[in-house]
Amino acid sequence: MITRRDFLQWSAVTGAFAAGYCGSLTQLAAQQKITQEDLLRFDSKGTVTLLHLTDIHAQLKPIYFRPPDTNIGVGNFEGIPPHLVGQTFLDHFNIKNGSMLAYAHTMTDYVNLARSYGKLGGLDRMATLVKAIRADRGEDKVLLLDGGDTWQGSYTSLKTNGQDMVDCMKLLKPDAMVGHWEFTFGTDRVNELIEEMDYPFLASNVFDNEWDEPVFEHTAFYEKGGHKVAVIGQAMPYTPIANPRWMFPEWSFGIRAEVLQANVEKARAAGAEVVVLLSHNGFDVDQKLATVVSGIDVILTGHTHDAVPEAIQIGSTLVLSSGSHGKYLGRVDLEIKNGKVVDHNSYLIPVLADVVQPDKEMSAKIDEVRAPYEAECNRVIGKTDSLLYRRGNFNGTWDDLICDSMIAERDAELSFSPGFRWGTTNLPGSDITVDDLYNQTSMNYPSVYRVEFTGTQIKEILEDVCDNLFNKDPFSQQGGDMVRVGGMGYTCAPKQEIGNRISNMTHLKTGEPIDPGKSYVVAGWASVNEDVEGPPIWDLVETHIKSLGTVKLEANTSVKVNDA
């Protein structure tokens, strides 16, 4: 059988293309030339290489992940990366339509390009690239840094409490990591897994509530390419707000810019020539942080799942945002002279799963950790005729399906689904497996509640969540997308202030406006409150998909955006 890799690499020679296999001959002409060597081609600089992977969300295997069609920036961040999508993104970065980068970074012609280029990521492919770069540059020049949200997001990570990810990541030999969803495994499990790692879990901004002292190491030092490099870690600052605080009640977070500034100065005083911030703050938070804290050479940022092809420069700080789900390996090379970065080059390497040879050792380990669950993971629960995806500011089809499930299975009028940015994509015509279902729902607080909210309360909730997304001050943003609402339409004006963004709330079933004084039965999941009762979301969605057999979703036009 001919694999897609063989096809991509050799079909040029034979000139035989399956008709209708992809969108156009131009695309094929571009992609057939792609080899692993092409992906790795890079204009090296100096003697220090930083490799960054972040927000893998427990995706050990290659996946599809459709980039957002809506990613609105406000205030100083309007119309600049990462708040560019589709054709605007391509034009800004001078990327050709139909090219490998167009496929990786945008949703233009997504389904066609996905069928042509195949899946992205896979930790075994990642391992191959990391090993190749280490071999090329020399291990003494390369730092591999894990930006966190590594342990959560799949069936196997849920069943093994993150053990599968810790065991596989060990083989990659990262030099440090930071965290966010890691904390939702609870204080004890986090400590237990950190014990097993032979690299540090860094956090400059996590303090214990009792003594107000740092919980984790804040900085790690390395000798790379003849230079002393300091890596400071930053956990997701709003973990206890965005996720259940009761799961790690001993710990307090926050941006703590003043603590970070002090740690940068300590690192310099200890002789660091390069200071790197390994951050789970989110791209906009880190863009602002670069203007508030001085002395950081490179911020490797994660959390908001933004993928920008190369580092942006803010003052003398480079900020690289390396996407999510294992789609990219971020690389920054630094040339250092007299304790200063004098030259650099950076790039996100798209991990085209059908082009990169899987690393044998990692493949075997992935098979081993999945073996007890493989049959269940591959169990087919339904089929989809529609493209199922999540990422985007307001809605995604996966969330439409989840919202429909809650309304149908919990006899609710409306439903809420959190605006998570993790979750993979199913192409039209594909099976929906248990793997796919848990890629959308895997978490430790999955109960589906059923409550009554008045129209006024629903508006307050929407306004509150919306302000966490569109507050003009990035330090007031939590990094998720807008809560998804089933059964209701509304208009959102991102540029307004809290209290004035949400209007025209309409009960879709009746076409009536939502009555401020009336109570509505609302079902939702992933509440941050303790002792929430209800069935886990995955059971509910599975029942619903089975009852549908084949998922067909209409385009969702229930949220209108008002640009004023």
Summarize as ranges the residues that interact with another protein (CB under 8 A): 180, 211-213, 236-243, 245, 252-255, 258, 303-305, 418-422, 461, 464-465, 467-468, 471, 473, 475-476, 478-483, 498, 526-528
The amino acid occupying position 398 is W
Contact 369, 164 (CB under 8 A): yes
Residue (31 or 287) nearer to another protein, CB: 287
Least separation in angstroms between CB 483 and another protein? 5
Give the strands of the sheet with 328-337, arranged side by side. Answer: 176-177, 142-146, 48-53, 328-337, 340-350
Tell the residue number behind the tokens 């294992």, with chain if given: 326
Contact 446, 405 (CB under 8 A): no
3-state secondary structure (DSSP) of residue 111:
helix
Least separation in angstroms between CB 419 and another protein? 5
Residue (309 or 419) nearer to another protein, CB: 419
Nearest-10 crossing angle of helices 123-137, 360-370: 150
End-to-end CA distance of the chain: 55
Least separation in angstroms between CB 533 and another protein? 17
Least separation in angstroms between CB 70 and another protein? 14
Q: Please tell me the distance from the alpha carbon of residue 18 to that of residue 37, in angstroms, as a whole number.
A: 25
Least separation in angstroms between CB 259 and another protein? 10
Least separation in angstroms between CB 289 and another protein? 12
Least separation in angstroms between CB 520 and another protein? 17
Of 175, 153, 126, which Cα lies nearest the Cα of 363? 126
Element (H, E) at 232: strand 227-234
Q: Please tell me the distance from the alpha carbon of residue 302 to that of residue 52, in angstroms, as a whole number.
A: 10
Least separation in angstroms between CB 542 and another protein? 23
Residue (65 or 422) nearer to another protein, CB: 422
Residue (102 or 285) nearer to another protein, CB: 285
Least separation in angstroms between CB 517 and another protein? 21
Q: What DSSP string describes 254-276?
A: ---HHHHHHHHHHHHHTT-SEEE
Residue (301 or 478) nearer to another protein, CB: 478
Q: Please tell me the distance from the alpha carbon of residue 344 to that of residue 366, in angstroms, as a whole number.
A: 34
Residue (32 or 301) nearer to another protein, CB: 301
Least separation in angstroms between CB 468 and another protein? 6
Residue (350 or 392) nearer to another protein, CB: 392
Residue (225 or 479) nearer to another protein, CB: 479
Least separation in angstroms between CB 44 and another protein? 34
CA–CA–CA angle 552, 557, 562 (5° rounding): 160
Least separation in angstroms between CB 537 and another protein? 14
Residue (335 or 463) nearer to another protein, CB: 463
- Contacts of residue 499, Cβ cutoff 8 Å, sequence gap at least 6: 463
3-state secondary structure (DSSP) of residue 146:
strand
Phi and psi at residue 513, to the nearest 5°: -65, 150
Residue (139 or 473) nearer to another protein, CB: 473
Q: 94-110 in b/e burial notation, b at 16+ Cβ within 10 A?
A: ebebbbbbbbbbbbbbb
Least separation in angstroms between CB 460 and another protein? 8
Residue (156 or 205) nearer to another protein, CB: 205
**For 77-81, which contacts have Cβ atoms below 8 Å and span 24 or more sequence positions?**
77/284, 77/287, 77/474, 81/306, 81/308, 81/312
Of 22, 109, 100, which Cα lies nearest the Cα of 355? 100
Of 217, 221, 170, which Cα lies nearest the Cα of 193? 170
Residue (146 or 149) nearer to another protein, CB: 149
Residue (175 or 467) nearer to another protein, CB: 467
The amino acid occupying position 243 is N
Helices then strands (H, E): number in the chain? Answer: 19, 24
Give the burial class of 510: count Cβ atoms within 10 A of its Cβ; 0-12 exposed, 13-18 middle, 19 or more buried.
Answer: exposed
Contact 540, 405 (CB under 8 A): yes
